Amino acid sequence: MSEAPSGADLGRRLRDGDLSVAPAVLNLVESRPAQEAGEVEALLHEVAPGALGGEARAHVVGVTGPPGVGKSTLLSELVRAWRERQRSVAVLAVDPSSKRSGGALLGDRARIVSDPADRATFIRSTAAGDRLGGLAPATRAAAQALGAAFDVVVIETVGVGQSETEVAEVADTVAVVVQPGSGDVLQFLKSGIMEIPDVLVVTKADLGTVAQRARRDLLATLRSIGERATQVVCVSSVAPVQGFDQLIDALDAHRAGLDLPARRLAARRAGAVADFHAEHGDRGLRALGGRRAALRALDEEDPALEVPALTRALEARAGAT
């Protein structure tokens, strides 16, 4: 039986564009026993901007929204549309955890339709565990690693409402999916989840007038709060499938307008605070003066540091307080 590749080897292979190592990468970052921590850090070091000569190639897209809105069906069509544009796609579908096994309960990989023979598409369900931010503990590391090789990395989060804002700290672009005629469209604009969208997606465009009315209502409300730049796109995942080219164009336009190095630096620092909090809890954050104080403290650290090194810097500061 061959020995599993090291974290550093996996990182180098991702840098070389080897998409076939994606399952091994996920297995490594999801296992995360103490003895593997060094391997995960070695992996992340090999895919850090310093090793890549700049930020990772992938467009990291967060897809979120309320339960039952049809995110997985939408993603099936969105993945197909990306592949038609010859873009490789990795999807990290974060599911609720089974209380019995700790594994992914719903298995979004089974609900997202893709060609199993297509080696440029990778879909994995991960369990959210006890994290309330909509992300599994390993999602940040997985997105950073796979971003070195894939053109698009999608993070589909658990539909749990306002607590999903954590995805905004990881993704370059966040798409929030809403359903017309549900009575929730405008309510979302008043809730925490609607503080984060870069693109709004109205499903069931096949309903015609109902979907267009929802789009107009969203656009009017966005204008009223000064968010005119946020695009609202109507799509239909059922025949006739429509709107996905426009959706990809909207996602691309948002990415093109980003200061990507600044966005990714903020994501790494937020990841360090999240990992520190997961390990040391509220008491640890209080020792640093709270989350905002922790982020300010990381402003003083070397921008080239990866998440594990930033997390250790916070631990050192907490021990000194």
Same domain? 205 vs 162: yes
Same domain? 252 vs 279: no
When the pLDDT of each residue in the chain is averaged and rounded to a whole number, the result is 84
Same domain? 248 vs 289: no
- pTM across the whole model: 0.88
Same domain? 62 vs 127: yes
Residue 30 lies in a domain: no
As given in the structure block, the two tokens for residue 188 are 């979302």
pLDDT one-digit tens code per residue, 27-36: 999 875 555 6
pLDDT of residue 275: 87
pLDDT one-digit tens code per residue, 225-284: 777 788 999 999 888 899 999 999 999 999 999 999 999 999 999 989 988 988 899 999
Q: Is the pLDDT of residue 108 over 60?
A: no
Same domain? 245 vs 170: yes
Percentage of the chain lying above the pLDDT 90 cut: 49
Q: Is the pLDDT of residue 125 over 60?
A: yes
Q: Is the pLDDT of residue 137 over 60?
A: yes
What number is the average pLDDT over the span 94-120? 57
Same domain? 225 vs 144: yes
What number is the average pLDDT over the span 89-97? 81
pLDDT of residue 162: 44
Q: Is the pLDDT of residue 91 over 50?
A: yes
Residue 6 lies in a domain: no
Q: Name the residue range of residue 313's domain.
A: 261-320
Q: Tally the domains of the chain.
A: 2
Least confident of 67-71, 97-101, 131-135: 97-101
What number is the average pLDDT over the span 285-293? 93
pLDDT of residue 65: 82
